[in-house]
A and B are shown apart, each in its own frame.
Chain A
Amino acid sequence: MASLKAYIATRALLVIPTVIILLTLVFFILRILPGDPIASMVGQKVPPEVLERLREEAGLNKPIFVQYFEYLFNILHGDFGRSMIWGKRPVIAEIMDRFPATLELTIFGFILSVLIGVFTGSIAAFKRNSKLDASMRIYSIIAYSLFIPWFGMVLQMIFGVYLKILPIAGRIAPGVEPERITTLYVLDSILTLNFDALSSSLIHLFLPSLTLGIVLSGAYTRLVRNNLIDVLSQDYITAYKARGVKDRKIALHAMKNAFIPVITLMGLQFAILLAGAVLTETTFSWPGMGTFLLERIQYRDYNSVQGAIVFYALFVALISLVVDIIYALIDPRVRY
Chain B
Amino acid sequence: MMVAIAEIAERTEGNDNVLKIRNLSTHYFSRRGVLKAVDRVSMDLKKQEFVGIVGESGCGKSTLAFSIMRLIQPPGKIVEGEILFNGKDLLKLKDEEMRKVRGKEIGMVFQDPMTSLDPLEKIGDQIVETIQMHEDIGKNEALEKAMKLLESVGLPGDRVNYYPHQLSGGQRQRVMIALAIALNPTLLIADEPTTALDVIVQEKIMEILQNMKEEGRSIILITHDFSLAAEKSDRIVIMYAGWIVEMGDSSKLVKEPMHPYTEGLLESVPDIWLQKKIKTMPGFPPDLINPPSGCKFHPRCPHAMEVCKREEPPLIGVNERLVKCWLYK
Contact = CB atoms under 8 A, between A and B. Distances in A.
Contact of A249 (B103, B116, B117, B129): B129
A329 to B, nearest CB: 11
Interface in A219-244: 234-236, 238-244
A202 to B, nearest CB: 35
A243 B117 contact: no
A214 B150 CA distance: 48
Nearest to B106: A242
Nearest to A243: B103
A257 B133 contact: no
Interface string A230-268: 000011101111111110010001001100100000000
A332 B120 contact: yes
Interface in B68-96: 69, 71
Contacts of B21: none
B71 A242 contact: yes
Interface string B105-132: 0011011100111111110000001100
Contacts, number: 79
A4 to B, nearest CB: 13
Contact of B119 (A244, A246, A332): A332
**Chain A interface, DSSP helix/strand/loop, else mixed:** helix
A77 B90 CA distance: 72
Nearest to B102: A244
A333 interface: yes
Contact of B99 (A244, A253, A257, A331): A244
A242 B108 CA distance: 6
B102 A257 contact: no
Interface size grouping (class) on chain B: 20 to 34
A236 B116 contact: yes
Given A240-B118, A242-B108, A331-B120, A336 B101 contact: no
Contact of A243 (B112, B121, B133, B165): B133
A330 interface: yes
Contacts of A333: 119, 163, 165
A239 B165 CA distance: 17
B103 A242 contact: yes
A333 B165 CA distance: 7
Nearest to A333: B165
Interface string A295-333: 000000000000000000000000000000000001111
A336 B122 CA distance: 13
B329 interface: no
Nearest to B108: A242
Interface of A: 234-236, 238-246, 249, 253, 256-257, 260, 330-333, 336
7 contacts: A236-B115, A236-B118, A238-B110, A242-B108, A243-B130, A244-B101, A336-B166
Q: Which 4 A-B pairs have the closest CB atoms?
A: A244-B103, A243-B103, A244-B102, A235-B115
